Amino acid sequence: MDLDRQVAGLLCVGFDGTSPSPEVLELIRRGVGGVILFARNLVDAEQVAALVGALKRAAGRPLLISIDQEGGRVARLRAGHGFTELPPMRRLGEAGDERLAFDLGALLGRELRAVGIDQDYAPVVDVDTNPRNPVIGDRAFSADPERVGRLGAALARGLQSAGVAACAKHFPGHGDTSQDSHLVLPRLPHPLERLRSVELPPFTALARAGVAAVMTAHVVFEPLDPVRPATLSPPVLRLLRETCGFEGACVSDDLEMGAISATVAIEEAAPGAVAAGVDQLLVCRTPALQHRAIDALRRAVEGGQLPAARLGEASRQVARLLRWAGPPAELGRVRGSLRTAEHLALVERLGEVGRAGRDPTGG
């Protein structure tokens, strides 16, 4: 494999439109490893399946198609598209039912797999410790790290049992911030002792559960690295491997988010993230930035700023993720797998647990 295609393979890109755009097709030809879908790409279930199939056929090789499908307010595929809508994960956290978490994860996985989607950027395993948090809140299971880890691991196992890679987020923890990293760069004063007791245990639980991927947070943890956000910080990302024991793929949050793009050019952010320990980079909208990221990675390798060994390690991790990439969906069978009676009954079951105030864990 030539160097340009190798570094392009580390990118997962987004695009505009409800059919493959010329820009995303050019990036696929260049070798990008994945494509992420957003609401701007979606019309209904059949169109989603057709779009995913067209992207995969254009690649002619394994191509990982990803989406954010958490439940609650962060779910790209909704009832109007023909999918089952889940409530926010806080509801599941209140129920505390591990078996239900597994079943809901499997529901998500079956519906995503039905339209050919390979990876879900879920579950959120941030610990909900700050009521003023504008970006996490009810996306989190709980303020209790043990409960977050237990339910997050169960949901991830459910997703993966249905053939869809799970991705725990946002490492090492976005739950205590009071700013939105889509817009600005949050900073937290938490020392390692606090991280070990609150933020890191859920990621350790997900690592032990075999989650396929973990996504980084664009947050500065000042005692560990006073300058760089976690996505670009070697000492922070070492915690993922050395403290949490995670062996899968480390994925960046979108490098076009304001927390990064407002202060760090893509030419610095892309190779900096990979050098810090990220394996796959999300660059979610702008074709020019996506190409610049690939060019910057290639130059960094050629110039020795990004060691060839680190590139090889990242490429191997992305290759492991690509094992989750399935074939295009069978269009005639899509609807029969969505919003089934079984799926709707599961969502109703969660509602009944909440209304009854039952807590199987006693916590």
The amino acid occupying position 151 is: L
Name the active-site residue from 4, 44, 180, 182. 182
pLDDT digits (tens, 9 = 90+) for 133-145: 778 889 999 999 9
Pick the closest to residue 66 from 23, 6, 94, 108 (CA basis): 108
* Residue 353 confidence class, pLDDT cut points 50, 70, 90: confident
Please check the confidence at residue 196 and state whether its pLDDT lies above 50: yes
Q: What is the dihedral of CA 136, 140, 144, 146, to 10 degrees?
A: -130
Catalytic, 170? Answer no
CATH class of 3-349: alpha beta
- Report, as an integer, the average pLDDT of 172-180: 78
- Quote the radius of gyration of the chain (alpha carbons, Å): 19
3-class DSSP state for residue 143? coil
Sequence-distant (6+) residues with CB within 8 A of 194 are none
pLDDT of residue 12: 98
Q: How far is CA 327 from CA 29, 105, 168, in A?
A: 18, 21, 24
Please check the confidence at residue 174 and state whether its pLDDT lies above 50: yes
pLDDT of residue 178: 66
Phi-psi region of 245 (alpha: psi -120 to 50; beta: other; left: phi over 0): left
Catalytic, 291? Answer no
* Residue 354 confidence class, pLDDT cut points 50, 70, 90: low
- pTM metric for this prediction: 0.95
Name the active-site residue from 103, 128, 253, 279. 253
Domain extents in the chain: 3-349
Please check the confidence at residue 360 and state whether its pLDDT lies above 60: no
* Residue 358 confidence class, pLDDT cut points 50, 70, 90: very low
Contact 112, 167 (CB under 8 A): no
Q: What's the mean pLDDT when you consider all of the chain?
A: 94
Please check the confidence at residue 362 and state whether its pLDDT lies above 50: no
Please check the confidence at residue 191 and state whether its pLDDT lies above 70: yes
